[in-house]
Structure 1
Amino acid sequence: MDIKKTNEINLLYNFYHSLLTSKQEKYMNLYYVEDFSLGEIAEQLGVSRQAVLDNIHRSVGSLEKFERELSLVEKTQEIDNVASELSKVVRENYADDKQLLDLVKRISKINEM
């Protein structure tokens, strides 16, 4: 799997992991967070490598479905983009307005939580 796809799945996992079943959560955590191999997960959980792979594929499908339905990643990225643009405009045109600068900082920090 390429790094771009792995990063995308990690981002989806960060947003939606609590919506997965406990079994899906365990498999995804071991594979994507703890960086265990399929064989290591299979050995630890007492299942076949194929069972691990199937569960991970189903879990990734669930994460992608959550994003299609909820769009939280997309919305968060858009908020980041708008906050960045707004910050630039405020710094360039309203650098003396402390209240406006503080509001922009608050908007930028929303997605950091």
Structure 2
Amino acid sequence: MLDQTTKMNLLYDFYSLLLTEKQRALLELYYSEDWSLGEIAEHQEVSRQAVYEAIKRAQLRMLDLEEKLGLVKQHLKRQQIMEKIREKLRQMPEAYECIGELLEELAELD
């Protein structure tokens, strides 16, 4: 299972454009820049509680979108399938030579 930060970063990758600009900014500071709630609150000139609630709302929004659309779940499943294909191809070097490059191109699309 994914840890909370990894999960939120994946959700953010897929759903950030569906959040408000303010929600995106807060999530980037909190998860990508690793700022504390207090640091964000001071920077935004709001209370720590306000930052916490805004981040929580953004998280819930992304989780709700994932529940409805399942983009992250599909992405993770595709990654698992591609890894199984890679494992099988490694056992057949000739096939890997022919198909491995295409598989990597497919992985880059995701």
CA distance in 2 between partners of 1:76 and 1:52 (Å): 30
2: CA distance, partners of 1:92 / 1:8: 32
Q: List 4+ stretches of structure 1 deviating above 4 A.
A: none
The aligned residue for residue 47 of structure 2 is 48
Q: Provide closer, same or farther for how the CA distance between residues 55 and 80 of structure 1 changes in structure 2, counting only shifts above 3 A.
A: same
Alignment-derived partner of residue 96 in structure 1: 94
The Cα of 1:104 is off from its aligned counterpart by 2.4
Q: Given residue 87 of structure 1, which amino acid in structure 2 is its aligned partner?
A: R
Give the SS at the match of 2:84.
helix
CA-CA distance at 1:20 after TM superposition: 0.7
Structure 1: gaps of 5 or more residues: none
1:27 and 1:41 in contact (8 A); partners too:
yes
Aligned residue number for residue 13 of structure 1: 12
Separation in structure 1 between the aligned mates of residue 35 and residue 48 of structure 2, nearest angstrom? 12
- Which amino acid is 1:46 matched to? E
RMSD: 1.8
Q: Aligned residue pairs: how many? A: 108
Which residue matches 2:38? 39
Structure 2 equivalent of residue 105 of structure 1 = 104
Please name the residue that 1:68 is paired with.
67
TM-score, scaled to structure 2 = 0.85
**Structure 2: stretches of 5+ with no match in the other structure:** none
Distance 1:11 1:91, change over 3 A: same
Q: Could you tell me how far 1:107 is from its partner in structure 2?
A: 2.5
Identity of aligned residues (%): 35
Determine the C-alpha separation between the residues in 2 that align with 1:102 and 1:41.
44
